[in-house]
Amino acid sequence: MSILVLGLGNLVMTDDALGCRVADILTQRFVFPEQVEVLDGGTLGLDLLPRLEGIEKLLIIDALEMDAAPGTVFRLTGNEVPRAFANKLSVHQMGLQDLLAVSELQGHLPPELVVWGAQAESIEMGTGLSKAMSLALDDIVDSVVRELAGWGAEPSSAA
C-alpha cells in the first residue's frame, strides 16, 4: 500500500500556508513507514500529477473555505471533497480540482481520498498564520497522524 500525504498552500498568503506548514511539522516530528510519503505540494497543481500514480491512499491538507468560524477543522471524504474546493480560497485550489479530475481521467485517482483542513480567516499577503489557524495547526497534525494509524501506517516520533 502506498500513501501520499500532500500539504498544499502558499507560504506567503497567511492562512493559505496551512498545508505546507503541516507537512513541514510532520516531517520534523515524525518518522514514517516506507509506504508513506509526506510532500509539501505548495501551489504546484497539475505538476503533481505523476506523484499520484500508484498511490492507494491520498491525504490532502489545505486551508478551506467552508463558511465556518475561522480555525474550524474539517475532515472531508468522497463527494465532500469536490464541493469543498468549489468555493475557491486561492488559485492553487483550481489546480487541485484539475489535478484530481485529470488523475481520474488517466485512471490514477487514488481509491481513498481524505482532506484535512481548517477554515481560513485570512489569505492576505503575509508569512504568519492567523491566531485561529495557529490554534487549529496541532489539531490537524494530530488528526493526520491518527488517520495514518487507522490506515496501518502510524508514524513514530523523531528522535
Question: pLDDT (tens digit, 0 to 9) for every residue of the chain, 159 residues total?
Answer: 799 999 999 998 899 999 999 999 999 999 999 999 999 998 777 788 888 899 999 999 999 888 899 999 999 998 777 666 665 555 445 567 778 888 888 888 899 999 999 999 988 898 899 999 999 999 999 999 999 999 999 999 987
User: Is 65 a member of any domain?
Assistant: yes
User: Is 145 a member of any domain?
Assistant: no
How many CA atoms, within 13 angstroms, populate the side-chain half-sphere of residue 75? 10
* Cβ neighbours, 10 Å, residue 62: 28
Domain enclosing residue 26, as ranges: 3-125
Number of domains, the chain: 1
Number of residues assigned to the chain: 159
User: Is 92 a member of any domain?
Assistant: yes
Q: Give the distance from CA 157 to its chain's centroid.
A: 20
What is the CATH classification number for the domain harbouring 110?
A: 3.40.50.1450
Asked whether the beta carbons of 109 and 54 are under 8 A apart, the reply is no
User: Is 32 a member of any domain?
Assistant: yes
User: Is 133 a member of any domain?
Assistant: no
Q: Nearest CA to 73 among 144, 150, 148?
A: 144
User: Is 131 a member of any domain?
Assistant: no
